């Protein structure tokens, strides 16, 4: 039996509804993890470091898809709550068209800029060529990758989160199978890993596109519509916090790499890359919860069902607090075995990575609540507040800490950046929760 947006959500129903989105985001995070595993173990440390150096830049391009998906699904969800299905479908179609057009433009820009950007990141010699090779191949799949990010949100809004889950699982399995074939069997190295990821992203973007084109979904379907620039502007401004979060993550990743190259050389970049794989996995859980719960929040806010909205707000804070504590505890348990999978062949690099892993994992205590806060205000249509939370968390606090803490504490200062920034961000989120309560009625 399908769960509808208009339902009452107790804890079991809420968890069942968001679970596919959580698993969907976890499988999405597996792309880079699988690439890293095969490249590190079958291609070597230099290609592995190059992958980790250029990957944050690629995230900037894909972030536009998250912006359209999260910002647009909040608008569509609110329109559905207001019983305006025809307008909701026009907005949905327009946002998919915008994703295709912007993806094509960004593909060209990415290919033209890949080498100069890699040089800017201090890549040189063999590492430079590896960065350009990996980046160029993945750039060719930007359109389906952006569509995949868009449909992750809209499949939930269309009350088909399980389909979104199975599409993402299929894409993830494709990535794993092709990495095994291209890198481990055919020995195509970094190029094979990039091709595997590009093809898996194509699966993740094209399958849901065909589904919505077929007209089988009773809530949302695609048709050709003329652009409504105001709606597109509202979508971009409402979802700007999500693109800001992704862009800032890329910028912060670049700054991390600058400091790590200065303090620990190529080993530092490889260690940070390994930690980030687990970070992608754990933060995907919180991001998946935010994506899965946002359409419910948008719907009930649009329907002016404030009592249900209050229940969703309270339950979400409790669940994200529990998730954060569990992820921190899990990090302590898996630090050594997971590090061994990626860099167990180098004892010095292994010990550096384990120490960094244990310190960095403290951030998960608060990260889920902050991610939910940003997504919550996006779902309510308050893109400005959402953007402020994301901007302070992901740019201002982290950049400041990256510049300050390594000067005071050396390499350990880099690993402490996460928990310091998240602590400051959760204080900002709590401030806005209190300041906006009367405007949106999510607290009695």
Q: What is the mean pLDDT of residues 407-425?
A: 93
Which tens digit of pLDDT belongs to each residue from 226-275? 888 888 888 887 777 666 666 777 777 778 878 888 888 778 877 887 88
Which tens digit of pLDDT belongs to each residue from 166-207? 898 898 889 999 999 999 999 999 999 999 999 999 999 999
Look-up of token digits 């800001």: 244
Which tens digit of pLDDT belongs to each residue from 307-345? 999 999 999 999 999 999 999 998 888 888 888 887 777
Alpha-carbon distance 192 to 37, whole Å?
Answer: 13
- CA distances from residue 197 to 21, 29, 151, 155, 301 in whole angstroms, order as listed: 20, 11, 18, 22, 38
- Global pTM reads 0.71
CB 378 within 8 A of CB 300: no
Q: Within its chain, how far is the Cα of 373 from the centroid?
A: 15
Alpha-carbon distance 148 to 99, whole Å?
Answer: 10
- CA distances from residue 136 to 78, 112, 142, 382 in whole angstroms, order as listed: 38, 9, 10, 36
């Amino acid at each position: 039996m399908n769960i509808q947006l208009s339902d009452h959500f107790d804890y079991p129903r809420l968890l069942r509804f968001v679970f596919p989105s959580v698993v969907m985001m976890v499988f999405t995070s597996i792309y880079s993890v699988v690439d890293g595993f095969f490249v590190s173990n079958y291609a070597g440390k230099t290609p592995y470091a190059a992958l980790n150096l250029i990957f944050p830049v690629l995230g900037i391009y894909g972030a536009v898809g998250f912006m359209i998906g999260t910002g647009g699904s909040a608008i569509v969800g609110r329109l559905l709550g207001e019983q305006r299905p025809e307008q909701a479908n026009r907005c949905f179609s327009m946002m998919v068209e915008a994703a295709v057009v912007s993806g094509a433009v960004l593909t060209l820009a990415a290919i033209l800029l890949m080498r100069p950007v890699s040089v800017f990141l201090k890549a040189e010699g063999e590492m430079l060529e590896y960065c350009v090779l990996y980046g160029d191949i993945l750039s060719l799949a930007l359109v389906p990758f952006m569509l995949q990010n868009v449909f992750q949100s809209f499949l939930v809004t269309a009350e088909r989160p399980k389909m979104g889950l199975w599409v993402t699982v299929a894409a993830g399995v494709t990535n794993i199978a092709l990495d095994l074939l291209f890198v481990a069997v055919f020995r195509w190295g970094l190029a094979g890993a990039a091709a595997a990821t590009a093809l898996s992203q194509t699966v993740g973007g094209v399958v849901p596109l065909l589904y919505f084109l077929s007209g089988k979904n009773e809530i949302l379907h695609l048709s050709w519509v003329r652009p409504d620039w105001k709606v597109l502007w509202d979508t971009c401004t409402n979802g700007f916090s999500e693109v800001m979060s992704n862009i800032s993550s890329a910028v912060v990743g670049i700054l991390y790499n600058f400091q790590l190259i200065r303090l620990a050389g190529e080993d530092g970049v490889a260690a940070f890359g390994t930690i980030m794989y687990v970070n992608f996995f754990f933060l995907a859980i919180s991001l998946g919860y935010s994506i899965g719960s946002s359409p419910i929040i948008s719907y009930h806010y649009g329907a002016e069902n404030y009592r249900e909205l209050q229940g969703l707000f309270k339950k979400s804070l409790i669940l994200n607090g529990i998730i954060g504590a569990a992820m921190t505890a899990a990090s302590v348990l898996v630090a050594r075995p997971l590090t061994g999978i990626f860099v167990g062949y180098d004892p010095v690099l292994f010990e550096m990575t384990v120490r960094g892993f244990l310190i960095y994992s403290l951030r998960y205590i608060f990260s889920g609540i902050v991610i939910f806060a940003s997504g919550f205000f996006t779902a309510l249509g308050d893109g400005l507040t959402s953007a402020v939370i994301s901007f302070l968390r992901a740019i201002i606090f982290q950049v400041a800490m990256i510049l300050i803490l390594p000067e005071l504490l050396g390499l350990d200062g880099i690993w402490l950046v996460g928990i310091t920034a998240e602590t400051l961000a959760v204080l900002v989120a709590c401030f806005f929760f209190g300041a906006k309560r009367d405007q949106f009625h999510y607290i009695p």
